[in-house]
Amino acid sequence: MSKWVLLVCLAIVLVVIFGCGSDNGTKPTPHNVTVAIEPAAFTQGVGLVVTFSATVTGSTNTAVSWSVNGVAGGDSATVGSIAATGRFRAPDGVPLPATVVVKATSVADPAASDSVLVTVVSGNGTGLPATYSEGLEQPLEGPIFHGWWDDCAGTDHNFYQGQCTPVVDSPVDWADGTGWAVSWTGQLFVPFTGNYRFASRYWVDGNVHILVNNTLITNLNTTGDSYDTTIPLTGNTWVPVFMTFQPNGGSNNMHLAWVTPGGEWCPVARSYLKP
């Protein structure tokens, strides 16, 4: 056998041993998985809700897990809670520190994640005082949500100061009474800049007049109708609010409620109102 044949055979053996028979301990490079959260850095008011979305690329598994300040699902009492859907509810009080970290982590690749900073703010309001035409001065109250409510069973109860209350414990008969009027004058705290939708739930019933930041929200004289008005407001400011109510023989339902930008419907809480 010639030396050239020997050399060719040796080359083939070396290729088989070192080229095909070993991967030198390396593994294929995995696809790059990335996570992106929207909206980005966000300011949120106490007790309010916003829903984040997480976009996963680089994997067919687009599921993520959510955490707040490293706690899976968050903590409603301290830093706020977040659901599997990305629905974040700020705590009822400002956390310490006031900025929390909301994080989405890829289920397919736990090394891939994205996070946003959420700063929780509060106006530290105490509610609005009510002035009744009968001369009754009521203490600060809120949320402003009075009258008929389906959870208040019995004709001797109405919804007053946020709970089902016996009529005799209310300044007037909010359930069915007539011959009186009430007004509220003060300020409303705007937690962040955006378009705020002021809207009733189900209906209001009576003569209802609401002004926010000197803009008419509603002026209704009805036995069952709704209001729905959206206005732009600047964040971290107090704006004037003025409301009146007078019964007209219906079931007497009056409330101040809103949908904050990116949020959900809720009555305006006491902490966002002050004289």
Residue extents of the structural domains in the chain = 34-121, 128-274
Among residues 242, 240, 232, 241, the alpha carbon closest in space to that of 192 is found at 232
Taking only the tens place, the pLDDT of each residue in 252-271 is: 888 899 999 989 998 898 89
- Do residues 221 and 171 touch, judged by C-beta distance below 8 A? no
How do residues 8-48 score in pLDDT, each as one tens digit?
A: 444 444 444 444 444 445 444 455 999 999 998 889 999 99
pLDDT in tens, 88-140: 999 999 999 999 999 999 999 999 999 999 999 998 998 888 888 876 667 77
pLDDT tens-digit series, residues 137-158: 677 776 777 766 666 656 666 6
Choice between 97 and 171, residue whose per-residue pLDDT is larger = 97
**Residue 10 has what pLDDT?**
45
Please state which CATH number belongs to domain 128-274. 2.60.120.1560
34-121 and 128-274, same CATH topology: no
CA distances from 245 to 179, 199, 207 (A): 11, 16, 5
Note whether 243 and 210 are within 8 A (CB). yes
Reply yes or no on domain 34-121 having CATH 2.60.40.10: yes
Q: How far apart are CA 90 and CA 123, in angstroms?
A: 14
Q: Is the pTM of this model over 0.85?
A: no
